[in-house]
Chain A
C-alpha cells in the first residue's frame, strides 16, 4: 500500500476502512481526485458491489483494457463526485474472463463489449456478448489491441481472410 497525496474527499480513507485488506493489492492516490485501487480477481465482483453500494456511485466513465504481457488488466473508471476511482483487476491472458458488472451498472454493456472485442476478455453473465463485429470478414480470435499483434499482423491477417473468402 503506497500513498503519496491525500484525496480531498476522504474517499481514500473510507475505502481503506471499508474494503477488507486481503482483497486489495494496492490502493493509492497519486494526485488529487485520482484514486487507483487494485483488487484481486476473485474478490473483484464483491468489492465492486460493496463500493458501488457504500459510496452510491452510479457513473462509470469507461472500462480500459491493458495488455500487460502475461495478463490483461481491466480498469473500471468510476466517478464519485469529481474523483475518478479507477478499479483495476487482472485476468490471465491464456483464458481471460471476468464477471460482468452490467447488473450493477446499466450503462456498462457497451464498454464491456469494447474490451471483449479488442482484447478478448469474456465477461461472465453479460447479456449479449455474441459475435462482435469488427468489419465483416474480420478473422476470429484476432484481438487488435493485444501486445503481440502488430499492425502488419493485422493487415496480413485481413488480406488472408479476404483471399480465403474469395476462394470459398
Chain B
C-alpha cells in the first residue's frame, strides 16, 4: 500500500453529485491518477417492476425513470408500444410531443449549464441560468399544468392540445430564452475565469468517444455528428429543418457550447413546429392488450441516445422492459476523462457528461472496470472505504 497516495471518496452524498453515486479517486497531491465509479445507489429495480404492471401503469413508471428527461423516456416507451400496436399517432399529437420533447431538452440543457457553472464555483451564472430556466418551466406548466412529471404523453397521443393562445405565448417565451442563451454563450466563451476552468479540461478524443460508445452532447462535443433525431428520425423530426450541432474542442468548454447551441436550435425547432402544426385530433383510443412481439425504440434524450426494448406476449403486461439511459453509455468515457486530471476539475468533468444517475441506475451496477496499474484490489478498496466512513 502506497502511503503517499490519498483516496478521496466522492459521494454517495456529495454536493458535486446531485444524485448519490460513489467515485473513488486515487490522488497524488492534487492530481487524480484514477477514478473508479460505483453505481447502484439509485438502483430501484424498475425493469422488474414493469413486468408486473399494465402498459398503462408503466407509462407513469417510465416517466419516473428520470425526472429531468421524463418526456424523453415516456416518449421512447410510448413510441415502442405504439409500434407493437402497429398504429400511427395523429400528426397533431406528433407535433405536440415533439414540442414537448424540445422543451424538455431546453430545460434540461439550461439546468446542466447552470450546474456546470456551479461546479466551477461560478454561482452567479448558475443563479442567472436557473432564473431563466424558470421561463421554460413556466412554459411547460402552461402546456401541461405541471412542472416536472407531466403525465402528458398517453398511449395513442397526448392528453391535452396546445391552443393558439398557448402557442403565441410559448413563441414569445422562446425568443427570450434564445436571446438570453446567446448572451450566455457569448459571455461563457469570453469570460477568462470560465475559460481557465473549462478549456482543455476533460479531453475526450473523437476516436475514444467512438470506441467507448459515448452518445449525445458528449459525443457531439468530440466533433462527431451523430444524433438520433437525424439518424433514426421519430415523431416529425424528418419534417423539420434543424442542425446537428457539433464542436471540435473535445473538452468541457465545447460541451458547454454544444449545450448552448442545442438550446438555440431547440427554440428554433419549437417555433417552426408551432407554425407548422397540422390540425386534427390529438389522441386515439388504444386497447389495453398489446399484441405479441418485440420492439427496439430509441429517442434522443437531452443527454443522448435513450433506448428501450419492449417484449410483449399478448397480455396487458409486458414480458420484458429494458431501458438503457444515456448516462450509462457515457460512464466509460468519463472514467477516461478523469484519469490524469486535477481534483479541482473532477466535479466539472463529472458534470461534463451531464450525468443523470437515476436514469442509469434503474438496473445497473458498475464497480471499477479500470483495472490497469491499480495497486489495491477491489476488496481492499471497499474495506478502506468502510473504515473511512466508520471513523466519522
Contact = CB atoms under 8 A, between A and B. Distances in A.
B157 interface: no
B235 interface: no
Contacts of A41: none
B369 A127 contact: yes
B296 interface: yes
Contacts of B367: 132-133
Interface in B3-32: none
A154 B49 CA distance: 12
Interface size class of B (residues with CB under 8 A): 35 or more
Interface in B299-327: 305, 307, 309, 311, 319-320, 322, 324
B365 A114 contact: yes
Contacts of A83: 232
A45 interface: no
A33 B45 CA distance: 30
A81 B295 CA distance: 18
A92 B319 CA distance: 19
B47 A59 contact: no
B378 A58 contact: no
Interface stretch (A12-20, A60-68, A159-167): A60-68
Interface residues of A, number: 44
B121 interface: no
Nearest to A134: B365
B363 interface: yes
B211 A64 contact: no
- Of B331, B366, B371, most buried by chain A (CB within 10 Å of CB) is B366
With a 10 A CB-CB cut-off, give which of B45, B210, B320, B371 has the most chain A CB atoms.
Answer: B320
B48 A62 contact: no
Given A66-B320, A128-B369, A134-B43, A61 B311 contact: no
A107 interface: yes
Contacts of B329: 61-62, 107
Given A62-B309, A106-B213, 8 more contacts: A66-B311, A84-B307, A86-B296, A107-B213, A107-B214, A110-B369, A118-B363, A133-B40
29 contacts: A30-B293, A31-B83, A58-B210, A58-B211, A58-B213, A61-B305, A62-B309, A62-B329, A64-B320, A77-B296, A82-B231, A84-B307, A106-B213, A109-B332, A110-B369, A113-B364, A113-B365, A118-B47, A128-B368, A128-B369, A130-B378, A133-B365, A133-B367, A135-B40, A144-B45, A145-B48, A151-B48, A151-B49, A151-B52
Interface of B: 38, 40, 43, 45, 47-49, 52, 83, 210-215, 230-232, 293-296, 298, 305, 307, 309, 311, 319-320, 322, 324, 328-329, 331-332, 363-369, 371, 378
